[in-house]
Amino acid sequence: MSTESFGRVKLVAVQHGETTQLVRQARAGSAEALEALYGRCGPRLLAFIRLRLGRTLRAHLESRDILQATLLRSYERLGQFAGDDAGTFMAWLMRAAENEIRDRADYHGRQRRDAARVVPLDDAHDAVAGHVRSLSSRLVLAEEIDRLTRALAELSEAHREIILLRKFEELSFKAIAGQLGKSEDACRMLLGRAMAALTVTLAGLP
């Protein structure tokens, strides 16, 4: 297990082998494994959700609701996570969160609700729903996540993208190079500049 530090912000990095084991244990019904799994991924996922929502959607959509919905649906679909080198668990969660945001934004734009998109927490597995509610409540109140989200929003698009790909989705530089159409060395240099910019931005935030 390792920890990424962004100024005062410290987020636990997801390790592939440990994650796969936790996923298996969670599918087998281990509440402890589920809490550990989501405890590692939750801070990054919430920061990502807030960043993707932006100011406009945050005025209409609750980041905590999206976090809860994403975690609960991911629990229901743990069997679909392959856990191979093609994608990390964090990347899987982030795509699920993007889908949730897009669907809710579409419904809001049409000014109607779709009952199927509202997660019935009281009807979900009590233990799972309880863990998700507790985790999301703690994260929403975490000052360091708010600071990280605001700092990322102030970066250039190129710097923000490389940080999300490497530090959040934890993609290899080879995969990132393929996505960005750059060499691996260029991606490493870009990440270095992006992390330096993030550090400076965080230092300037209250």
How many whole angstroms separate alpha carbon 161 and alpha carbon 201?
16
The pLDDT value recorded for residue 104 is: 77
Q: d(Cα 15, Cα 61) in Å, to the nearest integer?
A: 31
- pLDDT in the model for residue 86: 44
pLDDT along the chain (206 residues), means of 10: 55 62 80 82 87 73 83 83 67 90 70 49 56 64 77 94 89 92 97 95 87
Tokens 């991924």, located at residue: 41
**183: CB partners within 8 A, 6+ apart:** 177
DSSP SS3 for 83: coil
In terms of Cβ atoms closer than 10 Å to its own Cβ (0-12, 13-18, 19+), residue 82 is exposed
H or E element in which residue 5 lies: strand 2-6
According to the model, what pLDDT value does residue 24 have?
80
> 100-147 pLDDT, tens per residue?
888 877 665 555 444 445 444 444 455 566 666 666 666 655 667 888
From the number of C-beta atoms within 10 Å of its C-beta (0-12, 13-18, 19+), residue 203 rates as exposed
Rounded-to-5 percentages of helix, strand, coil across the chain: 75, 5, 20
Domain with CATH 1.10.10.10 in the chain: 156-206
In this predicted structure, what is the pLDDT of residue 154? 94
pLDDT of residue 10: 55
CATH ID of 156-206, from 1.10.10.10, 1.20.120.10, 3.40.50.720, 3.40.50.300:
1.10.10.10
Q: First and final CA of the chain: distance in angstroms?
A: 29
pLDDT at 128: 64
- What distance in Å separates the CA atoms of residue 98 and residue 15, rounded to the nearest whole number? 22
pTM (global) more than 0.95: no
| pLDDT for 158 | 96
Asked if residues 153 and 51 have their Cβ atoms less than 8 Å apart, the reply is yes
